[in-house]
Amino acid sequence: MKTAKMKRKKKTGKQKLAKWIFVSLACLITAMLIALPVVANMMVDIAISRSAVNDGVPFEQKPAVMELLRRHPFSEEHILSDDGLDLYGKVYMASPQTSKWVVALHGRTTNSDIFAEKSLAFAQMGFNVLAPDMRAHGNSGGGFTGMGWLDRIDVLRWIDVILQKDPVAEIALYGVSMGGAAVMMAVGEQLPPNIKCAVEDCGYTTVYDEFYYQMGQDYKGVPRFPMLNIVSLLAKLRAGYGFEEASSVNQLRNCKIPMLFIHGDQDTFVPFEMLQRVYDADICAEKDMLVIQGAGHDESSEVDPDLYWGAIFSFLDKHM
């Protein structure tokens, strides 16, 4: 028979084990609570900080871009954003003179220089073009990119610049990738009647959806929930917006102008399935969709330029 002393010893052993497990779990949870914000802050920097989106060779230093810009003169504009940033843009004037304009919005990690070829495609077809460096890109100020959400308000300020130059301007919005998202987000705002239509190429449904997808591709060992939610919260505190609120889908539910949606069916950066979701979200009856077969992300204009530009200019001619 077990003595009372042996029973007490066994009970004490269990208590020590339970205490060790409790302390270990407490330490683990504490370490995670400390580590999560640190890792999340790092991920905010990787995702939207200025240093992350401008980490390559400046596009204006690339010979092909320098030559293109040299052959096609442009003027420069500066405006002050609603939150006090100096924003920069290029203006290409068409010849002969026209009151038809395109606001051309580049993607994340690029700028108006690398977007010059697309901007000049519009200029050569008889449209004046205003091509901004979006916030935190190129010559524009800002510590964090707006991923289209903050940029939607900047677009309204750029529209004001055009209307100051040309009060009777007819304006189309055009954007690729992050620029496409900025277009979709901008059309949900109160736009002046001068805005006649919009074209978006490979934009995403929401910033949260896009980063959720990218985390699954690039950070397979990191749990997307709750990590991305913490990153979004920190982005709200540091950059002024959360990823969930930055929604093309929600903004398209207020769209009142004709829109053309374009996407390559081999896009694995902004997944192709997002095309149908943004198209369906648009409440405007006048909308079109173009799928470029075999095109990856931001490759549609290269894979099938005749179809791509033909569809865009046909759409603009119909609505402007």
Would you state the structure tokens that stand for residue 203, as one six-digit string? Answer: 């934009």
Distance, in Å, from the CA atom of 155 to the CA atom of 299, rounded to the nearest integer, reads 24
* Ramachandran quadrant class, 64 (left: phi over 0; alpha: psi -120 to 50; beta: rest): alpha
pLDDT in 10s for each residue of the chain, 320 residues: 456 555 555 556 566 655 656 555 555 445 444 556 777 888 899 999 998 887 655 556 678 778 888 888 899 999 999 999 999 999 999 999 999 999 999 999 999 988 899 999 999 999 999 999 999 999 999 999 999 999 999 999 999 999 999 999 999 999 999 999 999 999 999 999 999 999 999 999 999 999 999 999 988 777 888 889 999 999 999 999 999 999 999 999 999 999 999 999 999 999 999 999 999 999 999 999 999 999 999 999 999 999 999 999 999 999 99
C-alpha torsion angle, residues 40, 296, 313, 148 (rounded to 10): 0
Instruction: Provide CB contacts within 8 A for 97, sequence distance 6+.
Output: none
Could you say which DSSP state residue 49 is in? B
Q: Which pLDDT value is given to residue 18?
A: 59
Q: Which pLDDT value is given to residue 258?
A: 98
Q: Which pLDDT value is given to residue 22?
A: 56
Q: Which CATH class is domain 57-206+246-319?
A: alpha beta
Q: Which pLDDT value is given to residue 94?
A: 94
Q: Which pLDDT value is given to residue 6?
A: 55
Instruction: Provide CB contacts within 8 A for 138, sequence distance 6+.
Output: 54, 59, 88, 111, 112, 113
Cβ contact 201:177 at 8 Å: yes
Ordered by start, the domain boundaries in the chain are: 1-48+210-240, 57-206+246-319
Q: 161 φ, ψ to 5°? A: -60, -45
Q: Which pLDDT value is given to residue 283?
A: 97
Instruction: Provide CB contacts within 8 A for 127, sequence distance 6+.
Output: 94, 98, 100, 101, 102, 172, 316
This prediction has a pTM of 0.89
DSSP lists the bridge partners of residue 103 as: 130, 173
Q: Which pLDDT value is given to residue 31?
A: 45
Would you state the structure tokens that stand for residue 112, as one six-digit string? Answer: 């108006």
